[in-house]
Structure 1
Amino acid sequence: MQKNTTITPPVAITPAAEPPMRLADQAVAVEPFTAFATLGRGEPAPDWLTREVTSAWGLDPERTRLALIAVSENATFRVEVDAHPHAVLRVHRPGYVDPAQIRSELQWVRSLGEDVDISVPDVVPRADGELLHTFNRGSADGAPAGEAPWHMVAFAFVQGAVLEDIIDVLPDPSSYYRRIGRATAEFHRHAENWQPPLGFDRFQWRVQDMIGRSSRWGDWRAAPMQPQQHQILQAAEAAAVKQVQLGAPTHQGWGLIHADLRPSNIMMHQDRLTVIDFDDCGYGWFLYDFASALSFIEHEPYAGQIAREWIIGYRSVRELTAEDLRFACALSMLRRLTMLGWTTTHRRDALPPEIWDAQLPGSVEVAQRYLESPSWLLS
């Protein structure tokens, strides 16, 4: 059976319902990534990882240093040779995605780099030309019995600063969301016209992947909260799900999306933007990328302004109707709950402290506004 074979769902699927399950969607929800639990940002990688990387990529271990950037769905490390940046290594969480799904991501990134006038990072192959490295960690290196194989890929180091870190000091910060909206629309146009190679397989972003017990990153209900907060969030979830179940607008339907295209995943160098971190890419509603662009900041006073800037940029490439925008606002509400669930399965240092601390109260605020006016974000 091919990896992208469609599985017939237990109930009939209509145009207004969600697309059928794919094999990639059978993965269990993410568990906390414990292999690097004691490693802080900027600290050197464990010896077993450095040995594996230098051997696979043909680097001199005496001249190579790996330093942790972040731990989220995966762990990313800055690879330096002779104290100069060389690459960014992504170490995939064992069991989270399989080799076919990782290779599929790399295929899409390469296609975007060839076909779209938007900068994306180059993939750095191993010394033997392979793009993906798979290995098994030994028990001497702390591997528990039955641990799944590890997978790693490397990307060329991108010069510049993370847009999220500098956007507040740039002239007209909200205008960068216009550029993000335009880039997103270019990606969607590419996805509509691109023919994936045989065996291409990425997971989907359906409602059950965003929220609930089977959600990919954790159920928001697991976050500590007061009963009144739970009641408000539950009501907003029900209202947003009802709107989504009415069906995606026909011309803004379902396709391959980045699923996390926001300033933290964009590098800026001399006014040039490079989109990075495609590890969440998969099949979803195109307008889920609108929701993702506002992740963690929907409650902020400036959220409406940057949402409108995003829409202006998107509309410079693709049409958006009033119906589309109502649908986008519902997805934004669900995304907020998705990321609240995300905090139940991820490290606190995966986010700046002030953003982490705002997730529950900010989510309740967003839910209240959504219940009062489903299109409040664009009012």
Structure 2
Amino acid sequence: MDNIEKFNTIATLAVANYDIQFQEIKFLAEETNILYKLTDDKSNPFILKIYQEDSITKEDILMEVYMMELVSQKGEVSVPCILTAKDGSKIQEIKIDEDNHPKRVVIYSWLEGEDLDGNENEERFVQLGELTAKLHNATYGATVPKIFSPKRWDAVFYYHQENVVYKDSKYQHFLTKDYHEIMDKMIPYLNHQLSSYYQKNEENLQFIHSDLNPWNILVHEKAMHVIDFGDILFGLPQHDIAILLYYYRYEKEFNYKEVQQLLFKGYERVRPLPMFEEFDLELLMTARRVNFLNYILTVSEDPSSFIEKSLPRVKEFIDTYNVKI
């Protein structure tokens, strides 16, 4: 059984566990996870996700469900709703052979829209600031259930089972002495700084999205939706803000400072902007960049272009803030 056939079988078995009469199951995309578009007998669309990575645990998915329901209950941010199966469960575990672990499957309501990427303008950036603030309002003060151990961005490599691979021999033809010197020195420095944010701000920690990027924001007419809560962590609102700004920091078609001010303007319409300095945002963006400088080696056949662009940006942070490493 090839992969597509296997995933088709998993999707078919999963939808049988719901009361909804699905008429069509259509393969949509293979990204980090496998996505299908479903259509019921009333022509309503849904999306089915098959979690592909073994590093994603059932607890991770339950936390995703928990946060989405928190946000949905507030009613101010448009997010997908997770469907409940006949047995009351949100997550299906489908096993089709004895040689593989069960695949976890979730079905969401469909949200109409296009990626924010390519649809940005001043009005959208202000709206995005408002949306981010409403998202933070929705989870502010929520307690962490005892069954959860959410990720914290207190180190450069903070994902579960994340492999630090840049020392592996098979990647060395892509890497220079300069790359190694910067990574070797910056990682301990950034780890110390990232950890200090938690030590100094324990009372301000809350669930955050942690992957607000232009592909996880959908726009449709005047509406804006947030999707993909798979990377949530227990952190600070400024973590989300820095991650969002990361994607515009060096984009030539945008004036970064204008984007920043528009986002802040929208955010402050809803709630006060968190206390941080420009240094804090730049440090968080640099930490993400250093993480990606390792991660890119595992997902790209030729990471040279990303490395050539990103390494000077890490150096720029070091020089601008006279970082001693």
Answer yes or no: same fold by TM over 0.5: yes
Residue 99 of structure 1 aligns with an amino acid whose one-letter code is K
Q: CA separation in 2, counterparts of 1:296 and 1:235?
A: 24
From 7, 13, 18, the equivalent of 1:52 is 13
- CA spacing shift, 1:90–1:101, aligned 2, 3 Å: same
Q: Secondary structure at the match of 2:47?
A: strand
Secondary structure in 2 aligned to 1:53? helix
* 1:219-368 equivalences in 2 (<5 Å): 219=165, 224-248=174-198, 250=201, 253-301=204-252, 302=254, 303-316=256-269, 317-321=271-275, 323-346=276-299, 358-368=305-315
2:317 alignment partner in structure 1:
370
Separation in structure 2 between the aligned mates of residue 319 and residue 339 of structure 1, nearest angstrom: 27
State the Cα distance separating 1:341 from its structure 2 match.
2.9
TM-score, normalised to structure 1, is 0.70
Contact 1:188 1:286 in 2 (8 A): yes
Number of aligned residue pairs: 313
Residue identity matched to 1:281 = I
8 Å CA contact 2:125–2:263 kept in 1: the answer is: yes
Distance 1:363 1:308, change over 3 A: farther
Distance 1:102 1:161, change over 3 A: same
Structure 1 unaligned blocks of 5 or more: 1-34, 140-144
Q: How has the CA–CA distance of structure 1 residues 239 and 47 changed in structure 2, closer, same or farther, with 3 Å as cutoff? A: closer
1:101-144 superposed Cα distances (whole Å, 9 cap, x missing partner): 322321221121111411111112224442111122315xxxxx
1:259 Cα offset (Å): 0.6
CA shift at 1:270, angstroms?
A: 1.3
**Letter of the structure 2 residue corresponding to residue 71 of structure 1:** E
Go from structure 1 to structure 2 and tell me whether the alpha carbon gap of 1:218 and 1:286 turns closer, same or farther (over 3 Å shift). Answer: farther
1:179 partnered with 2:127: yes
The equivalent position to 2:162 in structure 1, one of 202, 208, 216, is: 216
| CA gap 1:201/1:77 in 2 versus in 1, 3 angstroms | farther
Q: Residue type of the partner of 1:132?
A: I
Counterpart Cα distance in 2 of 1:55 and 1:79: 12
**Offset at residue 206 of structure 1 (A):** 2.5
CA contact (8 A) 1:163 1:268 kept: yes
> TM-score when scaled to structure 2?
0.80
Larger deviation: 112-121 or 271-280?
112-121
Q: Which residue number in structure 2 is paired with residue 14 of structure 1?
A: none
| 1:75–1:92 contact (8 Å) kept in structure 2 | yes
- Three-state SS of the structure 2 residue aligned to 1:178 is helix
Q: Give the aligned residue type for 1:51.
A: T
**2:97 alignment partner in structure 1:** 138
- How far 1:235 sits from its partner (Å)? 4.4
In structure 2, the CA distance between the partners of 1:70 and 1:305, relative to structure 1 (3 Å rule), is farther
Distance across 2 between alignment mates of 1:53 and 1:117? 31
Q: What percentage of residue pairs aligned between the two structures are identical?
A: 16
Instruction: Give me the whole-angstrom Cα distance separating, in 1, the residues matched to 2:214 and 2:260.
Output: 13
| Separation (CA, whole Å) in 2 of partners of 1:221 and 1:83 | 54
Instruction: Decide whether aligned partners of structure 1 residues 219 and 331 sit closer, same or farther in structure 2, where only a CA change above 3 A counts.
Output: farther
**Number of the residue aligned with 1:10:** none
Q: 2: distance between equivalents of 1:313 and 1:283?
A: 23
Q: 1:332 to 1:208 in 2, by over 3 A?
A: closer
Deviations 1:54-82 (A, max 9, x none): 32235667x4223132321x332322457
Deviation at 1:225, TM superposition (A): 2.2
Q: Which amino acid aligns with 1:371?
A: I
Please tell me the root mean square deviation across aligned C-alpha atoms, in Å: 3.4
Secondary structure of the structure 1 residue equivalent to 2:93: strand
Q: Tell me the CA shift for residue 245 of structure 1.
A: 4.5
Does structure 1 residue 155 correspond to structure 2 residue 108? yes
State which of 127, 134, 147 in structure 2 corresponds to 1:199. Answer: 147
Partners in 2 of 1:112 and 1:191 — Cα distance?
7
Unpaired segments of 5 or more residues in structure 2?
Answer: none
Q: Residues 71 and 241 from structure 1, CA distance in 2 versus in 1: closer, same or farther, beyond 3 angstroms?
A: same
**Cα separation, partners in 2 of 1:76 and 1:187, compared to 1, 3 Å:** same
> Aligned match of 2:73 in 104, 110, 114?
114
Distance 1:309 1:220 in 2: 37
